[in-house]
Structure formats: C-alpha cells, structure tokens
Chains A and B, each alone.
Chain A
Amino acid sequence: MVIEIAVIVTLLASGLGLSTPLLFAALGEKIAERAGVLNLGVEGMMIMGAFAGFMGAFISGNIAIGFLFGILTGAVMASLMAFLNVTLRTNQLVAGLAVWLLGLGLSAFLYRLAFGIGTAPRVEPLAAINIPGFSDIPFVGPVLFNHDPLVYIGWAMVPILYIIVFKTRIGLTLRTVGENPRQADTQGISVVRVRYYAVMIGGAMAGVAGAYLSLVMVGIFVEDMTGARGWIAIALVIFGRWHPIGIMGACVLFGMVDALQFSLQAAGVQAPHQIMLMLPYIMAIAVMAFTYKRTTQPAGIGQAYTREEK
C-alpha cells in the first residue's frame, strides 16, 4: 500500500512538471489568439527557445541567463511572425508554418554549427526546491510543493492572465482587437501595435516553454526535442476554450497522460513504448474531435487587418 501511494505521488508530481511547458506555450498562444493572430509558429518558437536557452546556460553556466536567452529568442521569432502577418499581411497560416519550419531547421543547424557533430554537451538541469513547511505535508507536499520555480511561475500566470485579460483596460483593448479590429481602430487603438505585442509576448512564453524542455527536463538539447508540444499547445487552447483556467485544466490533463505513459513504461507494463508514446498525439486528436463544435473562437482570428480595403 505504501509503495502504491509513492507511485501515485510520483505520477502526479511528474505530471505537473510535464504540464508546465504546455502551460507556458498554451497561455502564450492564447494571448496571441485573443489579439486575433492564430500563431501556428509556436512549435518553431519553442524549439528555438530550447536551443537558445541551452546555449545561454552552457556559455554562462547560469540557468537563469539560459532562460533569458530562451525568452528573447522566442520573442524574436515571434516578431518575425508578426512582421509577416501584421505588417506584410501574409496569410496567418502561411506565416505560422514558415516560422515553424524555420525554427526546426535553424535550431538544428545552429546547434551543430556551435558544437560540431557527434557531441552532446550537458548543463546541470534546474533542481526542484522544497517549500519550507508545505513540502513536508504527507502526499500533498511532494505532489504540489516540491517543484522547480518555473512550475509555480506557470501557476501564477493563470490568475494574473485571467485578471489582465478580463478585468483590466489592457485586456479589453486586447480582446477588442481580437474580436473586432475595425472597431478597435475607430477607437484609436493601434491594431498593429497590439498584435505585435501580443504575438511577441506569446513568443517569449513559447521560448520559456522550450527552454524548460532543455534546461529543466533533460539538461541537453536534442534536435526536434519539442516533439509537437507546440502544436499540442494550440489544441489545448481550443480545448480550454481560450480561458486561462480551462487551458490550465487541459494542460494538467495532458501532463498527467504523459506522466502515466512514462510511469507505465518504467513499471514494465507489457506495451511497446512506441504505442505509449503515441498517447498524447492520439489524445490531442480525440480532444479536438470532442470540442471543436462547441467552441467560440475570437471573431477576428485568422485575418490580417487592413485599414484601406473593404
């Protein structure tokens, strides 16, 4: 019985850890979508964040500087997305796909350019911290209060974003731009500027998500290490109905599935590991099939805003 509880504790705790990169990416995506930009480039921003985060930490020997690199690189990739879509009015889907594929190629190229072929340098991954007093509580302590700082920052983002998006003027501006860009324009809001900011903040958060993979979860960079997590994050925004709390629920659910998959493998369950690895992808499809009809996405999504036409 004692062993079983220990297994459940590990499962829940690692599920929360695994949900963190999804949470950052999905919340960032949500901000961009609230401003009316469907950012399909998240995966590309994430993998660049993973690479730059690793580089930063490797060179400086400091994880925090690594994360800073990841954030900046995510934002730079996002500014490219914003430039293509907001300024040049390229189709949003095309712009997103271009940024995704650039991130995929560029991260692999730059990593090999920096370290050569056949080496796999490491950094010491960010460790979990105990929260004094709380982490000693049986069961709840190790599940909730024994994580790395990013997990808590991720949780804190949820109420903060909720308040900003729904209770402040900034949030109202953001939503107006997303729902009705023309009206926003007539109110004197710069649609272009709001969309740039929203996409870049989203990109910075995707950068955090990517750096989390390389700097917290493994301590190395691997080509394509994001494994479609950026795409899953887009699905989770829909599943969570563009609401921070819904999104957090969706991310925790997916983190748990990932953790379950890992711990079943570790427990030696007789299922091929490839089939287990498919689980999150199959679930993402199932979730999309289940929720797509019931959702209402921001009305202005998918359209580049032009003043003169129409």
Chain B
Amino acid sequence: MSLSFAKPTTRTIIRTLIPIGTALLAFVVTGFLLLAGGFDPLEAYGLLLKGSVGGVREVGETLVRTTSLLLTGLAVGFAFRCRVWNIGAEGQLYFGAIGAVVIALTVAGQIPVFGVIIAIIFAMIFGAGWAAIAGVLKSRLGVNEIIVTVMLNFIAILFVDFLVHGALKAPGFEPQSALIPLTSQLPILIEGTRLHAGFLVAIAAAVLIYLILFKTKTGFSLRATGVNPKASGYAGINVKRSILLTLLISGAVAGIAGACLVQGVNDRLLVGISPGYGFIAIIIALLGREHPLGITFVAIFFGALMSGANLMYQTMGIPVAIAETLQALVLIFALVGEFFARWKFKEAPK
C-alpha cells in the first residue's frame, strides 16, 4: 500500500475515483427529481454550495451540523467496527441531552468553568446508560441489538416529549425546558456564527476513538470480538464484556452529541432537538468505512449538505428532506461502486 503512495497504480486511482463518481451520480439522480418537481437543479445546487461554504456564517452553520453528525457517526462507526449493530444513536443522543439539561439546571449551572464539562460527562453517562439496556440484553440473553436499539430510539424521543411537557417544562406556552445557565453553555468559537466549542470536543472524540480502536489493547480485543467471537473467546477475551463495553462507549459518544445540542445550539431541551442525526449517522459510519478519519470527512460533507439544504428551502422552497435523500442515495451508489471496485481487481494480477 505504501508503494502505491509514491506511484499511484490504476487500482488506487479507481479506488479514489469510484466514491467521487458515485456521489456525483446521487446528485444527478436527485437533480432529475428536482426537475420533475419543477425546480432548476443547477440553481438549487448553486444555493447548496452558497448555503454551506458561501461565507463565514455559512461555514459556521456547516460545522455546527458537522459536530452532531461527527459525534453520532463516531458512536455508530465505533460500534459497527466492533460488529455491534447499534442503530440507537438517536435515542442515546436524546438521553445525553436529558442528562446535560438536568445537571445544568440543577448542580452544574452553579459551578463556574467546570460546569460545562460536568454537564457533558453527565450526558455521556446518560447516553451510555441508555445504550446499556441493549448491551445487557445482548450480552446476557443474546437478544438482537438492532431491533432493541431501534425501539429505544422511539422510547427516548417520546420520553423527551414527555419531560418537556411535564417535569422539565419551563413556564410559558412552548413545550421546552428553561434556559440553562451561562456557566454550563459551550462558548461560541467564532463571532457572528453559531459555531460552538462542541466542535472541538467532536474532533477530540474522533482522535480518541481512533486511539482506542487502533492503539490500545482494549480496542484490539473489541475489534477481534466483532470479527470472530469464537476465536476471541478461546483467546481469553471476555466476549460478553466486550459487547457491553462497545455499547457503553458508543452510547457515551452519542450522549455528547446530545450535550452539544443542549449546551451549544439550543441552550435548552426541546421536542425534536435532533432532526435525525442518529439515523444519518448510520450512513456516515458506513460511508466512512467505520474509520474515524473517513467518518470525519463524511460528517463535514453531510454537514454542508444539511446547511445548504436550509438555504435551498428558504430561497426556493425545496423540501429539506432533499438532504436525507441525497445522503441515502450516496450510500446506495457507494455500495454499488464498491462492488465494481472489487470486481475490477479480480482480473488484475497480484
């Protein structure tokens, strides 16, 4: 592989061209849908570009989205890498948000400087705790984690709905919690944007996940368990513990995403605090090949798509679901492209 760095072979050229080509294909297909809906796709994609990277404020918006997508993407990607199918990042995000808001409104808000961090740590504990339900069921009873985590998403979303209509409701008409104190809010990084320090937390999380996965013994045994549970069991790895630990770490990272939405973006808990970041995270994890670096790139790309979609909506009235459609199509075309990438190699010698 290092040789190909010096002199790119046809193989590496194909490897880099195929994902770009398949992503473009997704845009072309969506362009035809826009055309059918009576919109000019070129004008729309121009706005997509302008709305995502057209200025400091726009880049800020993109990175705000990226923060949520990166954290949830890392959570899902980490679990997938260990072959634990955690589809529950959305629910874990919601529980993280609950943890952050509860502690910020009670204890952490009174504590200067460390209040921010305490709230994030609580969000991690809440996210991990919510994921632990699936972890315990999987490791103790062998219950499929996919369906359990999907169900836990819906329960968590309803639970937040319940809280902001009841126990956590602030006085007034809107179903939302009170504003959290300034001491537990994440500071804004760039004046005139909404970009908050949570972005740095997300980048740090990416580095940390990389180190855990590839540079520690724990990470090695977690990955080994995923690839071959039987052999890992013989090698003395506690498989049940590995599955539980994977879900705990994954849930904790998704919990930080919830904390960032509460402490960095909304400064409170409200209904629908996430527009499905935890679901898009599944696409991000798969496209990023379950690797923190790949996940980071895809999260930035998808963050741009989402903030660009906002401008397309405001200016032309194009439905914002165009972002989700594009994201899913990029994944499907990438899966097709991957097949052809493999297929091409078979004929090449070596």
Contacts and interface: CB of A to CB of B under 8 A. Distances in A.
A93 B155 contact: no
Interface stretch (B106-114, B146-154, B204-212, B225-233): B146-154
A117 B39 CA distance: 14
Contacts of A89: 339
A23 to B, nearest CB: 18
Contact of A101 (B148, B150, B282, B319): B282
B13 interface: no
Given A278-B159, A288-B143, A289-B137, A272 B148 contact: no
Contact of B165 (A272, A282, A285, A288): A272
B147, B283, B324 pick with most chain A CB within 10 angstroms:
B147
A285 B152 CA distance: 8
Interface in B327-345: 327-329, 331-332, 335-336, 338-339
Nearest to B279: A101
Contact of A97 (B87, B158, B162, B329): B87
A109 B286 contact: no
A57 interface: no
Given A102-B325, A113-B37, A285-B151, A88 B335 contact: yes
B185 to A, nearest CB: 27
Contacts of B87: 97
Majority SS at the chain A contact face: helix
B317 interface: yes
A98 B324 CA distance: 11
Contacts of A238: 144
A294 B270 CA distance: 41
Given A93-B85, A223-B321, A292-B144, A80 B332 contact: yes
Nearest to B137: A289
A117 B319 contact: yes
B142, B150, B162, B322 pick with most chain A CB within 10 angstroms:
B150
Contact of B166 (A110, A223, A272): A272
A284 B335 contact: no
A104 to B, nearest CB: 7
A95 interface: yes
Contact of B137 (A113, A223, A231, A285): A285
A169 B107 CA distance: 68
Contact of A113 (B33, B155, B329): B33
A101, A223, A234, A284 pick with most chain B CB within 10 angstroms:
A101
A99 B339 CA distance: 17
Interface string B119-149: 0000000000000010001000111101110
A231 B328 contact: no
Given A102-B325, A105-B325, A293-B142, A234 B147 contact: yes
B151 A98 contact: no
Nearest to B332: A98
B155 A282 contact: yes
A272 B328 CA distance: 35
B319 A278 contact: no
Contacts of A117: 317, 319
A274 B158 contact: yes
B310 to A, nearest CB: 13
28 contacts: A88-B335, A90-B338, A94-B286, A94-B335, A98-B331, A101-B279, A101-B282, A104-B324, A105-B325, A105-B328, A108-B319, A108-B324, A114-B37, A117-B317, A228-B151, A228-B154, A231-B151, A235-B147, A278-B155, A278-B158, A281-B155, A285-B147, A285-B148, A285-B151, A289-B137, A289-B141, A289-B143, A293-B141
Interface of A: 40, 80, 84, 88-90, 93-95, 97-99, 101-102, 104-106, 108-114, 116-117, 223, 227-228, 231-232, 234-235, 238, 272, 274-275, 277-278, 281-282, 284-285, 288-289, 292-293
The 8 A-B residue pairs whose C-beta atoms are closest, nearest first, are A105-B324, A112-B319, A113-B37, A108-B321, A274-B162, A102-B328, A109-B321, A88-B339
